[in-house]
Structure 1
Amino acid sequence: MASNTPLLALHQIDKAFDGVPALRQVSLVLAAGEIHGLIGHNGAGKSTLIKILGGLQPADGGQIWLDGRQIHIDSPGKARALGIEIVHQERLLAPTLTVAETLLSGEEPVWPGLRLINRRRLRHVARQAIQHYFGLDINPDSLIADLSVAEQQIVQITRALRHSPRVLVFDEPTAALARHEVTALFKAIRRLREQGLAVLYVSHYLDEISELCQQVSVLRDGRNVAQHTVSTVTPHQLIHDMLGNALREGPPRQSQRREQTLLQVTALSAEGRFREVSFSARSGEILGITGLLGSGGKALVRALFGLESGLTGTIILNGRPLLPRTPHQAVKQGIAFVPEDRRANGIAPALSVRENIALTSLTSLVSGLFIDRRREQALVAGNIERLGIRTPGMEAPLRALSGGNQQKVVLAKWLNTDAWLYLLDEPTVGVDIGAKAEIYQALHNLAAEGAVIIVFSADLLELQSLCDRILVMARGKLVKTLDAAATDHHELLAWASGAVSGTLAGASHE
């Protein structure tokens, strides 16, 4: 049970990046024997707070107290020495180590009188640890790289638990876990609470907060906005705390949807990512997909472009069946893809604007043995004008352009392929408001020409203002399809977070 005396207290923590505040006067108190939930919409400051507590980033201001004594955490090693363990949502594991080597790194058992590692003992201790906390049998000789995402998460959590921490922080720990693995994790966390640990549990899923936590704190825009006793708060109140008075409805737009069904997806699955997803889209429709971390929404968009393995189900595009195994196959079938990380996957920064835009059209521009430069320049000039790309000239290196104009170049190179289906993953991340409007207009124009546009985004206002319908994914399933013009932030977040199917009030938390 929770003690009245705080075990850990964070007091008025500040943090800014390049002058932009990420945390402003954030305070949080954890008691021994308490599971304390921390929630907030994307960008609220949760991850930054966790990194400060784990010694990965320094705070700009504020104080941290442990057992009534002010402490300074300047490294992950110092955090661990103080009894603070962080289970990050990123799996910080070396892929070439075995499960046993990972769990007992720095604590390897040795033969008496020798400096040789006792491999038999190493494997035995590792296997027993995972069985103790999760009731699972994972081969201790398996390489981390060969494990599933869920198994890697279990190894990471087990490694943290083996250090007998006093404060344990979970950052979205169930995003990659199956239901039975989540049940085992919750059982382990409750056992830790009974042993007197202070647990900070960060999750997007409100039903998890209901099931596990006694208290819940809410961050919004880097500030504390609320703290509640979980047994007395409603999902509606928590969602309101997370969103505040954010605009609920986007500006209306003229739908371009036609009668012809251009895309039909039936029972599409990718093991461990999403399952049995079915939907259709009409010619001229802009379809939004959203979901929280681990929802499967991003993987679904990638799968349509042949970027996910192990697909089953059926996809019919413009009357032709396809199940793309590679991006090359997808492009040949009339599919275009604008990735989230444009610098890593969407552009060649050292090449010119011309070379980037023409990249997908080289075959059609070849005349004899050479590229027809006049046709190429005319094509690129038309794209620059069509999308309003601001550039000193088509020969300027792409890295010289702003983020918004780089994103428009990524879109421009696909306009020349006459695709039937355009897939966009977070298309306006890092883009200023003016460039956003121009990208939206370009997508509207594509829809008006009869293409299907699918946009994955965590920006709910973007989806409401841009799309005809919004598919909401949660835990690998399509849980709701909403009319973008008739929904609002609260309904979208309620379905994505699990608040619709469950209730927070009245649950048992003792």
Structure 2
Amino acid sequence: MADTAKSGEAIIRLENIVKRFGGAQALSGASLTVRRGAVHGLVGQNGAGKSTLIKLIAGLHRADEGAVETDGKAYDRDPRSIAKRAEAYLKASGLVPTFTVGEALFLGRELRFPGTPFLDRAAMRRKSAEILERYFGLALPHSALIADLSAAEKQIVQITRALIANPKVLVFDEPTAALVRREADLLFQLIRRLSAEGVTVLYISHYLGEIVDLCDTVTVLRNGRDVATLPVAETSAAEIGALMVNRAIGDLYPKPAVAPGAVILEVENLALAGRFEAVSLTLRRGEVLGLTGLVGSGAKEVVRTLFGLDRPTGGTVRVKGETVFSVDPAAATDRRLALVPEDRRRDGVALDLSVTENTTLASLDRFSRGLIDRGAERRQTEDLVKRLEIKTDGVEALVKTLSGGNQQKVAIAKWLSRRSEIYLLDEPTVGVDIGAKVEIYRLIGELAERGAAVLVLSSDIEELLGVTDRLLVFFRGRVTRQFISSETSPGEVLADVTGAHETLRHAG
């Protein structure tokens, strides 16, 4: 693979980069130096300039001011040079769903018989099979469609495509957003192996724990500038986060003190065959209850069942004292339950509808007397946009134009418009930057202050301990432990999440 002889020298150098798009300034003097063979983290809130900086390195943009060097050579606009650099830029959306694995791997650089226009399909199969076996220990059918692959397999195709070109630099842009923990761990092993072989890795992620576990060095961007470049071994995730948002780390979890009120949700011995059993819990007005567990622990299925997406095979659910049988989503909504799903772009919002249309989607009966009262609908939306501090060009802007954090706020606004009382939040901060996370944490606290009951499912233990009052741990389909969040450390929770303690306890 890459030459390791010059390990430690700068392979990427950007100095005082300025980049404007129309009247907007994306970068305002940013600098970045990446050493050969390093795993270098790049972090920042949405809008900090990460994507613009990476596209400059890949040759997809040109700086208005400043200097760009890759592998000791000044930036140039030769199309062949740009194409070669862009090959190493890996992003989750970079594959065509209708292509086969073989077509995706060799698109634009097909192998041909020497001196002919004919494709050497056998050579392409051999080369891709060699890399798949060498780095991943698996074989993918050459004729399989990209659309039929799992998220992890798509990631493998992207990486294999880059490795075929013998790259010196690989840029990973949020590579674990669609991966479960086991798949992410395999990716980290691969990145460490590539680094050991001399390949330089530039790693972008909202997950600061990944940066600390994986990277040698991290550069923090804020408002289009680099504010720090730090050795990861001497830096904590909390310190990195504080630099990103320019605030004390203690402010990350702005949880108000709320005295819980009456019980609003009671679950007793709830079961779903093959998924979970004997789950009991209570939730009070003004309370924030956390759920966590490994993939397959049953926690996610409990949330789905409470909202009526899955039918329970046993147990009872009571909402405000009324027993609910065979709930479906419509019945759950009528009882003032709200679900903000993990995949907001697929299930939580309608991307091609406006902020207003999304906000009032679950409460149109409030604005309809045969015809929709557009004025009342707009006033409701403007009020919620202001209240939730949703950053948008206007209430008629399409939701797909908003950042991930603001899309999540629109998903919550939909249920506020419905006047929901019980909020089921499934991984509410996944895929959003740390600044947006703080705003979502603040919103969770506001819901509790207003007397709503909030249930938060998350795999981020520190996040749960920061925003919840109590925390239930799921392991192999059962609730195994209850914690008081303010009296608990992440290590204690992790021990139960991973099965270090399997003492089963009732949690009510």
TM-score range, shorter chain: 0.5 to 0.7
Query: What is the Cα deviation at residue 120 of structure 1?
Result: 4.7
Q: Which residue of 1 aligns with 2:107?
A: 105
Q: Which residue of 2 aligns with 1:169?
A: 171
Give 3-state SS (helix, strand or coil) of 1:399's partner.
coil
Which residue type is aligned with residue 288 of structure 2?
L
Alpha carbons of 1:346 and 1:190: their partners in 2 closer, same or farther (altered >3 Å)?
closer
Which residue type is aligned with residue 169 of structure 1?
V
Structure 2 unaligned segments of length 5 or more: list them: 387-393, 499-508
Q: For residues 200 and 388 of structure 1, what CA distance do their matches in structure 2 show?
A: 41
Which residue type is aligned with residue 153 of structure 1?
Q
Alpha carbons of 1:288 and 1:346: their partners in 2 closer, same or farther (altered >3 Å)?
farther
Query: What is the Cα deviation at residue 398 of structure 1?
Result: 6.6
Query: What is the Cα deviation at residue 29 of structure 1?
Result: 1.1
Q: Which residue of 1 aligns with 2:71?
A: 67
Alpha carbons of 1:119 and 1:10: their partners in 2 closer, same or farther (altered >3 Å)?
same
Give 3-state SS (helix, strand or coil) of 2:288's partner.
strand
Of residues 132, 135, 139 in structure 2, which corresponds to 1:133? 135
Of residues 54, 57, 60 in structure 1, which corresponds to 2:58? 54
Query: What is the Cα deviation at residue 161 of structure 1?
Result: 1.4
Q: For residues 309 and 22 of structure 2, what CA distance do their matches in structure 1 show?
A: 36
**Kept in 2: contact 1:336–1:422 (CA 8 A):** yes
Which residue type is aligned with residue 32 of structure 1?
R
Is 1:10–2:7 an aligned residue pair?
A: no
Is 1:81–2:84 an aligned residue pair?
A: yes
Q: Which residue of 1 aligns with 2:155?
A: 153
The correspondence of residues 22-41 of structure 1 with structure 2, limited to 5 A, is: 22-40=26-44
Which residue type is aligned with residue 399 of structure 1?
E
Alpha carbons of 1:196 and 1:352: their partners in 2 closer, same or farther (altered >3 Å)?
closer
Give 3-state SS (helix, strand or coil) of 2:66's partner.
strand
Q: Which residue of 1 aligns with 2:453?
A: 452
Which residue type is aligned with residue 6 of structure 1?
A
Is 1:359–2:379 an aligned residue pair?
A: no
Q: For residues 41 and 380 of structure 2, what CA distance do their matches in structure 1 show?
A: 50
Alpha carbons of 1:32 and 1:25: their partners in 2 closer, same or farther (altered >3 Å)?
same
Which residue type is aligned with residue 284 of structure 1?
R
Q: For residues 53 and 486 of structure 2, what CA distance do their matches in structure 1 show?
A: 35
Q: For residues 156 and 104 of structure 2, what CA distance do their matches in structure 1 show?
A: 12
Give 3-state SS (helix, strand or coil) of 1:157's partner.
helix
Which residue type is aligned with residue 283 of structure 2?
R
Q: For residues 315 and 196 of structure 2, what CA distance do their matches in structure 1 show?
A: 48
Alpha carbons of 1:187 and 1:337: their partners in 2 closer, same or farther (altered >3 Å)?
closer
Alpha carbons of 1:347 and 1:6: their partners in 2 closer, same or farther (altered >3 Å)?
closer
Which residue type is aligned with residue 142 of structure 2?
P
Q: For residues 236 and 412 of structure 1, what CA distance do their matches in structure 2 show?
A: 32
Of residues 202, 205, 208 in structure 2, which corresponds to 1:203? 205
Query: What is the Cα deviation at residue 470 of structure 1?
Result: 8.1
Q: Which digits, 9 at most, give the CA deviation of each residue in 1:339-380, with x for residues without a partner?
A: 856995289549999986752569xx8xxxxx667xx87x99
Alpha carbons of 1:454 and 1:186: their partners in 2 closer, same or farther (altered >3 Å)?
closer
Q: For residues 226 and 353 of structure 1, what CA distance do their matches in structure 2 show?
A: 39
**Kept in 2: contact 1:265–1:315 (CA 8 A):** yes
**Kept in 2: contact 1:100–1:141 (CA 8 A):** yes
**Kept in 1: contact 2:57–2:70 (CA 8 A):** no
Query: What is the Cα deviation at residue 147 of structure 1?
Result: 0.7
Which residue type is aligned with residue 336 of structure 1?
A
Which residue type is aligned with residue 172 of structure 1?
E
Q: For residues 162 and 492 of structure 2, what CA distance do their matches in structure 1 show?
A: 32
Query: What is the Cα deviation at residue 156 of structure 1?
Result: 0.9
Query: What is the Cα deviation at residue 151 of structure 1?
Result: 0.9
Alpha carbons of 1:472 and 1:144: their partners in 2 closer, same or farther (altered >3 Å)?
farther
Q: For residues 355 and 235 of structure 1, what CA distance do their matches in structure 2 show?
A: 38
How many pairs does the alignment contain? 459
Give 3-state SS (helix, strand or coil) of 2:396's partner.
helix
The correspondence of residues 413-428 of structure 1 with structure 2, limited to 5 A, is: 413-415=417-419, 420-421=422-423
Give 3-state SS (helix, strand or coil) of 2:202's partner.
strand
Which residue type is aligned with residue 57 of structure 2?
L
**Kept in 2: contact 1:207–1:497 (CA 8 A):** no
Which residue type is aligned with residue 75 of structure 2?
I
Q: Which residue of 2 aligns with 1:336?
A: 338
Query: What is the Cα deviation at residue 21 of structure 1?
Result: 5.0
Bigger drift between 158-167 and 24-33 goes to 24-33
Q: Which residue of 2 aligns with 1:504?
A: none
Give 3-state SS (helix, strand or coil) of 1:345's partner.
coil
Bigger drift between 96-105 and 57-66 goes to 57-66
Query: What is the Cα deviation at residue 287 of structure 1?
Result: 3.2
Bigger drift between 180-189 and 146-155 goes to 180-189
Q: Which residue of 1 aligns with 2:501?
A: none
**Kept in 2: contact 1:91–1:153 (CA 8 A):** no
**Kept in 1: contact 2:100–2:142 (CA 8 A):** yes
Which residue type is aligned with residue 36 of structure 1?
H
TM-score (norm 2): 0.64
Which residue type is aligned with residue 154 of structure 2?
Q
Q: For residues 496 and 227 of structure 1, what CA distance do their matches in structure 2 show?
A: 32
Query: What is the Cα deviation at residue 337 of structure 1?
Result: 4.3
Q: For residues 17 and 480 of structure 1, what CA distance do their matches in structure 2 show?
A: 52
Alpha carbons of 1:400 and 1:48: their partners in 2 closer, same or farther (altered >3 Å)?
closer
